[in-house]
Amino acid sequence: GQQLNQSPQSMFIQEGEDVSMNCTSSSIFNTWLWYKQDPGEGPVLLIALYKAGELTSNGRLTAQFGTTRKDSFLNISASIPSDVGIYFCAGRKDSNYQLIWGAGTKLIIKP
Amino acid sequence: DGGITQSPKYLFRKEGQNVTLSCEQNLNHDAMYWYRQDPGQGLRLIYYSQIVNDFQKGDIAEGYSVSREKKESFPLTVTSAQKNPTAFYLCASSPPGAITEAFFGQGTRLTVV
């Protein structure tokens, strides 16, 4: 099935650094979602985006719905140890369509 | 506490055996979903149900079956026909009117031995 292109695959960062990751598709989406998954747990919804160009924040996290509707971006400012985990993007083409998922970006903080 | 409960957390199965994974929610959500997650990949939809007594196949339904006899419960059976059943299985639900899979359970890790 279709999968979103999520990059980078993994990131090694220092505590306090800002983080950027993105998700792209060849198709237009009406909804973009960003989830975080801790090891052995289910994903937790971080941010939902419903309109092209929309910029939404959740604490230190900011996500944007790309103006072409084919991409989305997630930024984390001033990373802390509890930010480690896997971040997934997911997109939906219309309200009755199932979610399409990216393969995830694994965030690792260097000791 | 409201939420989605998946059980068991870890499950071992011998080849050729059917096994049922439990998913219960007390959030009064109408829609429920089952996903499969393999290492290094995103989530793939197995089955979903929008209302009681109705469910639809997702991308990878072959070798799986579900039932939705009660709003709160959406069990998944992994049958012996599933060729590669070892994976992490996630159940999710969403409230009426929402268009997102808002809440996930903690997952069941199934290993075929």
In tens, the pLDDT along A81-103 reads 999 999 999 998 876 667 889 99
A28 has a pLDDT exceeding 80 = yes
What are the phi and psi torsion angles at A9 (to 5°)? -70, -35
Mutate to test the interface with A, among B100, B103, B106, B108 (most CBs of A within 10 A): B100
Look at A40 and B74; give whichever has higher pLDDT: B74
The pLDDT mean for chain A works out to 92
Cβ-based contacts of B59 with chain A (< 8 Å): 1, 98
Are the Cβ atoms of A99 and B102 closer than 8 angstroms?
A: no
CA distances B75 to A60, A107, B7, Å, are 37, 32, 10
What letter does residue A81 receive in the DSSP assignment? G
**What DSSP designation does A59 have?**
T
Tell the residue number behind the tokens 């309109």, with chain if given.
A51
Residues of A in contact with B107 (CB under 8 A): 40-42
Give chain B's radius of gyration (CA, Å).
Answer: 13
pLDDT the model gives residue B57: 95
Q: How far is CA A58 from CA A45, A48, A49, A65, in A?
A: 11, 10, 12, 14
pLDDT of B96 strictly over 80: no
Query: How far is the C-alpha of B90 from the C-alpha of B37, rounded, in Å?
Result: 7
Provide the pLDDT for residue A81.
Answer: 93
Checking if the pLDDT of A14 tops 90, the result is yes
pLDDT tens digits, B34-70: 999 998 788 999 999 989 999 999 989 999 999 999 9
Average pLDDT over residues A10-28: 95
The DSSP output letter for B100 is S
In the DSSP assignment, the letter for residue A98 is: P
pLDDT band per the 50, 70, 90 thresholds, residue A108: very high
User: What's the pLDDT at B99?
Assistant: 63
